[in-house]
Amino acid sequence: MLSIVTSLMLFGLAGAISTVPVSITIMILLSPDPRRGALPFLIGSVAGSIVVVGLSAVGLQLLPGRPTLRQDELLAQIGLVVGLLLIGYAIYLFSHRSQTDSAVVGKLKTRFQSARPWEFAVLGLGLNLRPKALLLAVAAGAVISVQEPPLFQGALLVVAYAVVTQSAVVVPIAIWLKSPERAEVPLTATYTWMQRNGQTVAAIATLTIGIFIIGYSIIQL
């Protein structure tokens, strides 16, 4: 059980390291009416993770011809695949200095001025369909399906993964809810810093986690 929880937390941490969700979250919090969008965006983001991981776990359990390898071997194989893909993604980030993500985030600024609460919720849901987020969510679902836990335990694992992978959304909103006035300055500074250094930091962190996941998976074999 410990190895499964560890794998889920590593996958969740890898999912949390992304410039787009945190940039969008901070933009919402710094908008003229953050209360209209912050909580719907948070709910959509977490709910989207829960749905994708939950459906993956259930769907993989129902697949015919499931592998007959030992649980540790299956977990190790999933970890190796995810680790290699994360390393490949990190290399991509290092070699492509384009501002694609920043451009996408920038286009959303004007839209936030008139967006309705349900649109923020849909945006949060939609961010879970990005390739990296989808890959990690399916991998997390596969890890849970390998364990074949009871319903309640499986639900807890799904929620735990969702909270960790959405921590880049959860933490800024929690800070803002505690003190909206005091949060404005650090949130602005964080957003500015992310626009300059976010891609490099994400690449380094993703590479590090990918290597760690591979090493951890090899130990489990």
pLDDT at position 147 is 76
Whole-prediction pTM value? Answer: 0.87
Q: 3-state SS of the chain?
A: CHHHHHHHHHHHHHHHCCHHHHHHHHHHHCCCCHHHHHHHHHHHHHHHHHHHHHHHHHHHHHCCCCCCCCHHHHHHHHHHHHHHHHHHHHHHHHHCCCCHHHHHHHHHHHHHCCCCHHHHHHHHHHHHHCHHHHHHHHHHHHHHHHHCCCHHHHHHHHHHHHHHHCHHHHHHHHHHHHCHHHHHHHHHHHHHHHHHHHHHHHHHHHHHHHHHHHHHHHHHC
Mean pLDDT of the chain: 86
Give the model confidence (pLDDT) of 7-54 as tens digits. 889 899 999 988 889 989 999 999 888 989 999 999 999 999 999 999
Domain ranges of the chain: 2-27+38-60+77-220
pLDDT at position 97 is 62
Give the model confidence (pLDDT) of 80-124 as tens digits. 999 999 999 999 888 876 554 555 566 777 778 778 999 999 999
